[in-house]
Amino acid sequence: MAEVVRWVGFSAGVLILVWTWTSVIGALIVPRQHKDRLSAGAALAAKGVFSLARRPIRTYRRLDRLLAWQAPMSLFIRLGMWMMLFYLSFALMLLPFVQGQPGRAFSEAGSALFTLGYAPPDELGNTLLVYSAAFTGLVVIALQIGYLPTLYAAFNRRESEVTLLVSRAGSPAWGPELLVRTRFGLSTVDSTAELGTLYGTWERWAADVAESHSTYLTLCTLRSPLPESNWLIALLSVMDSAALQLSLSPGTAPTLRARLLLRMGFSCLNQIAHALSIPVVEDVDPDAKTELTFAEFQEAVKMLKSVGYPVEHSAEQAWPHFRGWRLNYEGVAYRLAYLIDAPPALWSGTRRLVTPQIPPKRPTNRVASEAEPEDPQLDIRGPE
């Protein structure tokens, strides 16, 4: 009977070993989104711990400082889960070869897996398993070490464009603010070409983020170095600016670039949402209502008119077209922003932590009292 139990344990160890290796290979090697219960469990464990820690917090900045640790901790927890499961699997597999001594089985498995070498094997069967355990420990740690540069290379590519956008759209970013600053910064030259270039850059950025963030889900919750900066809010602001241009000023908008950006933008959001198991409406009703109200849209149009932005249509005429564009991405963007606790920017929905929305910071326009006349071609000041 004892012999049967030991071989049942061996079989259970094989199953745990295969399951854990599948998780490791799927998470660190396979270049596509992989449904991995172990990784999901690690992320859920980290989320549970931080959900308790965030309860007394009442301000966004304190919450951001806390959540900056959540994604790295989920990686640490996942590595620990992998190593413990490998340890358990090899200990169970060693049971038939150590004369029914569970303590010795766990000792040899730990000695080999963590390359300590204090419990050498003395038979052929457990020798093969001990060497396999040593190989497993080295490979898993090496793969994890190689995984981190890949992860942070994608993070750095993402954050480069997000940081560049701060001077164009404020922090946190906002679509109308992007148009306002473009108008003031390029008041004597054609801003259409500049925005067209920006939309082309963000189209490629969205494609890169769609691939990397749906493959490595940890990237979705890795927070930016600055508390008010965020990849999702930045993308939403650029998409809103393109939709505003197409609806308010179709004659001067870089139509092709703006449309391509919007298409790639909501394809990016949908792809990431699918990977995170967030429901997505693929074919939206063009007559549905947006959470953004017409009053909010109208205020943005008034602000654009106040700085001399070339507006071809009234707010009433432009609203149906803007709403039609926004319906494609508003719902999924708001759900993602809620999930990752993005900064409470304007036009970005609600959050779990209820705080006032943060308008973009606008630098004060200060000029020296005895300054020489400025060249208008170099005037890139923001509005007061």
Half-sphere exposure of 61 (CA within 13 A, CB side): 2
Let me know: does 253 contact 192? Beta carbons within 8 Å: yes
Following DSSP, what letter does each residue of 293-319 receive, concatenated?
A: -HHHHHHHHHHHHHTT----S-HHHHH
Helix (H, G, I), strand (E, B) or coil at 358: strand
User: Is residue 346 classed exposed, middle or buried when 0-12, 13-18 and 19+ CB atoms within 10 A define those classes?
Assistant: buried
What phi and psi values does residue 5 have, to the nearest 5 degrees? -60, -40
pLDDT value for 362: 74
Instruction: Please choose, from the candidates 268, 259, 261, 174, the residue with its C-alpha nearest in 3D space to the C-alpha of residue 212.
Output: 268
Q: State the Cα–Cα distance between residues 364 and 369, nearest whole angstrom.
A: 15
pTM of the model: 0.88
Half-sphere exposure of 101 (CA within 13 A, CB side): 10
Q: How many other CB atoms are there within 10 angstroms of residue 190's CB atom? A: 10
Q: State the Cα–Cα distance between residues 341 and 143, nearest whole angstrom.
A: 30
Q: State the Cα–Cα distance between residues 129 and 11, nearest whole angstrom.
A: 14
- The domain ranges of the chain are 2-28+37-146, 170-352
pLDDT value for 1: 65
In a structure prediction context, what are the per-residue pLDDT tens digits for the chain, which is 384 residues long?
A: 677 888 888 999 999 999 999 999 999 988 877 778 898 999 999 999 999 999 999 999 999 999 999 999 999 999 999 999 999 999 999 888 877 678 888 888 888 888 776 656 666 667 888 889 999 999 999 999 999 999 999 999 999 999 999 989 999 999 999 999 887 654 444 566 789 999 999 999 999 999 999 999 999 999 999 999 999 999 999 999 999 999 999 988 899 999 999 999 999 999 999 999 999 988 888 889 999 999 999 999 999 998 888 899 999 999 999 999 999 999 999 999 999 999 999 999 999 999 999 999 876 666 666 655 554 443 444 444
pLDDT value for 379: 46
Contacts of 237 (CB under 8 A, 6+ apart): 165, 169, 172, 173, 174, 175, 177, 178, 345
